[in-house]
Amino acid sequence: MFKRTVLSCPPPAAPPLQARGAFRSFPHFWGEDFLASLMFKIQLEPLKLRAWTLNGFVKFRNKEPSTGPVAVMGKDYYKILGIPSGANEDEIKKAYRKMALKYHPDKNKEPNAEEKFKEIAEAYDVLSDPKKRSLYDQYGEEGLKTGGGTSGGSGGSFHYTFHGDPHATFASFFGGSNPFDIFFASSRSTRPFSGFDPDDMDVDEDEDPFGAFGRFGFNGLSRGPRRAPEPLYPRRKVQDPPVVHELRVSLEEIYHGSTKRMKITRRRLNPDGRTVRTEDKILHIVIKRGWKEGTKITFPKEGDATPDNIPADIVFVLKDKPHAHFRRDGTNVLYSALISLKEALCGCTVNIPTIDGRVIPLPCNDVIKPGTVKRLRGEGLPFPKVPTQRGDLIVEFKVRFPDRLTPQTRQILKQHLPCS
């Protein structure tokens, strides 16, 4: 039989009340009572847990308000970027840079890389925007996309929808450049590489997105132990050679000045910086008075654009159109006047046309020999730098001789014309 032992030490604090009511609690039996109360408490704990769980279920069923906002289930944007929910703006940017470079389809060839790349872009699009992030923190992804019970500035619910182009987010983050263009020139056109900030390469060594290619330029050239940085400049874009077109103009257009409209068709980059489209553009070419043949009019970078080039300049070179009456010699205009032998010998008045449509009578009282030149001052083309001043209209005479003479005419000429 169990032997009761009386201890001389003072009893400890009384056991829990729920135990004292079921057991004897005399001072000299405190050891037995303490063990009994402890066993009772252990047996009671599962009952308390079940009661707590049942209470929670009732609250959920009755939709009792909770003490704080409850997020609807959906994508965990923080987990996608690998950051805590309290991450600041710089940590979000750094995480996106790291994850986007790691899962970019140009680098990562896994089947799910494209989808992962899109999720990363969506996560950054939300968390980098204070308003979107606040709604997401309160209501989760589904709440953010379905309105979350909030109202926009216009009184309607705010609904977020990802734009769907992770490459546009990538291009915007890196300033329109694609760091993978150093390695890839695939059939799928890539973004132009306009320079890459070494700070953008701030990634963990164990998760280096460029590990498959070695550590180029920024942190050495091999995967092993880090060495001193070796300069390796990114590939620079080279501008395409100028596209030269001949632009024919009339002397009247040079005399008065004019504006021509030329339609060109060229390829241009889409906003994503990767694909191109074909478009037409009207170039307005202003031709100033007196411009010389060979003058060049340049439209910078209006040529075809691709992700890997600088568009060519479009250059128009002036070329004089042939004229029915005039030829050009700098700012002077040449006119050939054809007169008969009789007019050349006996004198005449020749009507000389001008570029602006006037007619100037030119008296010729002296004998006109073939090749004789007369100059009409100030009737030529304007000087390019001083349009108010003009060159000359130079008249070159040509004498038309008869094909044959009658014997009587021949005899008369012999009698009257000098021998020398």
Q: For residue 141, tell me if it sits in a domain.
A: yes
Domain ranges, residue 117 = 77-213
Window from 7-21, 202-216, 256-270, 310-324 with minimum mean pLDDT: 202-216
Same domain, 206 and 87: yes
Q: For residue 106, tell me if it sits in a domain.
A: yes
According to DSSP, residue 388 is labeled T
Q: For residue 200, tell me if it sits in a domain.
A: yes
Residue where a domain stops, chosen among 301, 320, 339 = 320
Confidence class for position 244, pLDDT limits 50, 70, 90: very high
The per-residue pLDDT of the chain, averaged, comes to 76
Confidence class for position 299, pLDDT limits 50, 70, 90: very high
C-alpha to C-alpha distance for 96 and 101, rounded to whole angstroms: 8
Cα dihedral 49, 50, 55, 57 in deg (nearest 10): 120
Same domain, 104 and 127: yes
Same domain, 310 and 395: no
* pLDDT at res. 45: 58
Question: What does 14-81 look like in DSSP terms, one character per residue?
Answer: PPPHHHHTTS---GGGHHHHHHHHHHHHHHHHHHHHHHHHHHHHHHHHHTPPPSS--PPS---HHHHH
Same domain, 289 and 341: no
Stated pTM of the model: 0.44
Q: Which residue has the higher pLDDT, 366 or 16?
A: 366
Same domain, 252 and 164: no
C-alpha to C-alpha distance for 263 and 323, rounded to whole angstroms: 25
Number of domains in the chain: 4
Instruction: Compute the average pLDDT of residues 148-166.
Output: 63
* pLDDT at res. 356: 92
3-class DSSP state of 157: strand
Q: What is the pLDDT of residues 91-119, one digit of tens each?
A: 999 999 999 999 988 888 888 888 999 99
Same domain, 86 and 123: yes
Taking CB atoms within 8 Å and a gap of at least 24, the contacts of 258-264 are 258/287, 259/284, 259/285, 259/286, 259/287, 260/284, 260/285, 260/287, 261/285, 262/316, 264/302, 264/314
Same domain, 101 and 34: no
354 residue type, one letter: T
Q: What is the pLDDT of residues 249-287, one digit of tens each?
A: 999 999 999 999 999 999 999 988 889 999 999 999 999
C-alpha to C-alpha distance for 353 and 335, rounded to whole angstroms: 9
Q: What is the pLDDT of residues 393-405, one digit of tens each?
A: 999 999 999 989 8
CATH number for the domain that contains residue 368: 2.60.260.20
